[in-house]
Amino acid sequence: MKKIARFFAYFLGIALIVLAAGAAWVQFSPLPTFETRSLNLDIPTDPASLTHGRDLAILHCGHCHLGEDGKLSGRMFSRPQDAFGEIWSRNITRHPEKGIGRYSDGELAWLMRSGVKRDGHLAGYFMSSLHVSDHDMGCIIAFLRSNDPVVAPSESDPPQPRYSFLARALIKLGAFKPLPYDGMPVAEPPASDKLAYGKYLVTGCYECFGCHSKSFETNDMVNPEKSEGYLAGGNPVMDEDFKPVLSANITPSNLFGIGSWTEAQFGQTLRGGLRPDQRMLSPVMPRFASMSDEEISAIWAYLQTVPATDTRAAMANQ
């Protein structure tokens, strides 16, 4: 009997030591770094591409990077009490040290595809857009380098991330890792191939699927269509005051999706945020004011091909 008790005491002691060592490793040893590369990308200079880049950067990057000075100077992205700890988006204005002056165009492109910063650290799964085409990425980078006031050098210097124990453990154990990008060019389908183009806009260019599937945590960044609850909504997206707003079901479900809408109503909602029933959507849903009829029509056509899912989602916001 005594022997067994002694055995358990040893066992418990060893288990505690292993646990403590593991916890110390997670908490105190440096986070891993990953391969950084520089992609070879055409950066356009014509005015139409710059305007397109501005639209994409403000809609897409602006959602997280728009700071209090009205520039892309960074802001708090998750709070100290949130699951992954205190994380700020960074200053991505043209400032030579505090902004992206340090980055080459190719390094910026690598970060956007893989999620790895130029210092080799992971910027996070939320920071990468594996499916944005080379052309659209070139337009975004051209805009970030432009004289537009939104990217004029800002002195803002947001704090470095203070990851929670959970986030550190997920990074160290390899659950959070760079996206598998092989460095190959990413083409976008021609607008004449309406369904393919619509799918590109939803999964690549505007990343509607990110907010509109079940949860950021279960989204499949590599194969967006395999995300849990693809486009069926219910994802709590934080507004500026960190209040969750559930995303809407945008599958063609007649009950809870956009099944009973017309294309014209859909376009009006996307551009101005006004639903067919005259309810104004939360500002968390971007206003795609500059979207062309061609883009809206392609997104609409593609959404009709997505399986209708009868999930009640954003109606809870009413």
Q: Under rule CB under 6 A, which residues in 223-252 are in contact with ligand HEC?
A: 237, 245, 247-248, 250
Instruction: Note the helical H segments in the chain.
Output: 2-28, 47-56, 62-65, 105-114, 134-144, 165-172, 194-200, 208-212, 263-272, 293-304
* CB of 26 or CB of 258, closer to ligand HEC: 258
Question: CA angle, corner 225, sides to 220 and 308, nearest 5?
Answer: 130
Q: Under rule CB under 6 A, which residues in 126-145 are in contact with ligand HEC?
A: 126-127, 140
Q: Does position 58 bind ligand HEC by CB under 6 A?
A: no
Q: Does position 39 bind ligand HEC by CB under 6 A?
A: no
- Out of 142, 269, 298, 306, which residue is the one contacting ligand HEC (CB under 6 A)? 269
Nearest to 219, CA basis, from 183, 247, 189: 247
Q: Does position 109 bind ligand HEC by CB under 6 A?
A: no
Question: Segment near ligand HEC (CB under 6 A), from 44-52, 146-154, 186-194, 278-286?
Answer: 278-286
Tell me the two tokens of residue 121: 């650290």
- Out of 161, 229, 234, 267, which residue is the one contacting ligand HEC (CB under 6 A)? 161
- Residue ranges with strand state E in 48-172: 76-78, 85-88, 162-163
As a whole number of angstroms, the distance between CA 195 and CA 201 comes to 10
Q: Does position 207 bind ligand HEC by CB under 6 A?
A: yes
As a whole number of angstroms, the distance between CA 151 and CA 70 comes to 9
Helix (H) or strand (E) segment spanning residue 245 = strand 244-246
Q: Under rule CB under 6 A, which residues in 167-206 are in contact with ligand HEC?
A: 206
Q: Does position 60 bind ligand HEC by CB under 6 A?
A: yes
Q: Is 169 helix (H, G, I), strand (E, B) or coil?
A: helix
> What is the torsional sign of CA 56, 60, 62, 63?
positive
Q: Does position 282 bind ligand HEC by CB under 6 A?
A: yes
Q: Does position 123 bind ligand HEC by CB under 6 A?
A: yes
**What residue ranges bind ligand HEC (CB under 6 A)?**
57, 60-61, 63-65, 77, 87, 89-90, 92, 100, 108, 111-112, 117, 123-124, 126-127, 140, 161, 206-208, 211-212, 237, 245, 247-248, 250, 258, 269-270, 275, 281-282, 284-286, 288, 299, 314, 317
